[in-house]
Amino acid sequence: MGKLDGRVAVITGAGSGQGAAAARLFAGEGAAVVVADVNADTGQEVTDEVAKSGGRCVFAHCDVSDAQQVAAAINMATSEFGRLDVLYNNAGLWYSAQGNYRPGITDGPSPLLEENIWDRTLDVNLKGTYLGCKYAIPEMQKVGGGSIINVSSIAALRVGSGASDAYTAAKGGVLAMTRTLAVEHAKYQIRCNCIFPGAIKTPLAGPFTPDYERAVESHIPLGRWGQPEDVAKMALFLACDDSSWITGAFFVVDGGYTAV
């Protein structure tokens, strides 16, 4: 038996990186999965891969900052599979500067940060989390409970070498919202927890150069970048009954970076 037999999960940002790893893992543990992603090509590719491996999986084109598209992704879970048990709010973006701030193109310190970068960053990372919860919670109430897994970032816990005020604000908001959601909806047996990934080797953290990779690794006690599967395994723990008495909590997956 799989850890998620009989469960239905919506995973946003599942067309690559952590979301794709979670789609494969959740389906392998018995869940029916809605792969929700703004990139139709990669989203469908992951969906086809999971289905080819014997998993139950459908693709939903979804920009998480658009209420109608988020509602449609949640509705796809119930129309295709009859229920919703797990929402993994994984979709996110970061206009990375990597030490080379460019006005209107990268995130940065507030006196320099352009409004378009601020707006889009909060729309995807924070509003997207809110919209997922807005439409998923009523469906979870119908089946007597569920698990919501939000993705923040170690940027919300520790200041790094470069300021990314929009990203930091959005991810700090995800943590705060996770706690209020957990308390408010515990009476419905809906759990809500938060993952704080560190340096994970995904498209979000790139582009990668040998010097950049080595510089980041030098600050990680375990001496390596995280892989998408490292985060997906934490998400699986929070999605399944192994974490049935855990809510309102946050879990750092960073190779020890924030412990230094």
* pLDDT one-digit tens code per residue, 139-153: 999 999 999 999 999
Q: Categorize the per-residue pLDDT at 118 as very low, low, confident or very high, splitting at 50, 70 and 90.
A: very high
- Does 18 have pLDDT greater than 80? yes
Tell me, what's the pLDDT at 206?
Answer: 66
**CA dist., res. 233 & res. 203, Å (int):** 19
SS3 state at 238? helix
- Does 205 have pLDDT greater than 80? no
Residue with tokens 């040998």: 210
Tell me, what's the pLDDT at 97?
Answer: 65
pLDDT in tens, 62-84: 999 999 999 999 999 999 999 99
Residue 172 tokens read as 């700090």
Check if 130 is active-site.
no
How confident is the model over 193-207, as a mean pLDDT?
87
Catalytic residue among 167, 188, 212, 257: 167
- Does 202 have pLDDT greater than 90? no
First-residue to last-residue Cα distance in the chain: 39
Q: Categorize the per-residue pLDDT at 111 as very low, low, confident or very high, splitting at 50, 70 and 90.
A: confident
- Does 209 have pLDDT greater than 90? no
Burial label, 1 (beta-carbon count in 10 A; 0-12, 13-18, 19+)? exposed
Tell me, what's the pLDDT at 158?
Answer: 87
Query: Where are the extended beta strands (E) located within the chain?
Result: 8-12, 32-37, 56-61, 86-89, 146-151, 190-197, 250-253
How confident is the model over 81-98, as a mean pLDDT?
92
How confident is the model over 110-115, as a mean pLDDT?
89
Q: Categorize the per-residue pLDDT at 23 as very low, low, confident or very high, splitting at 50, 70 and 90.
A: very high
**CA dist., res. 211 & res. 219, Å (int):** 13
Contacts with 245 (C-beta within 8 Å, 6 or more apart), sequence order: none
Tell me, what's the pLDDT at 109?
Answer: 87
To the nearest whole percent, how much of the chain has pLDDT over 70? 96
pLDDT in tens, 24-58: 999 999 999 999 999 999 999 999 999 999 999 99
The CATH code of domain 8-94+121-253 reads 3.40.50.720
Mean of the per-residue pLDDT values of the chain: 94
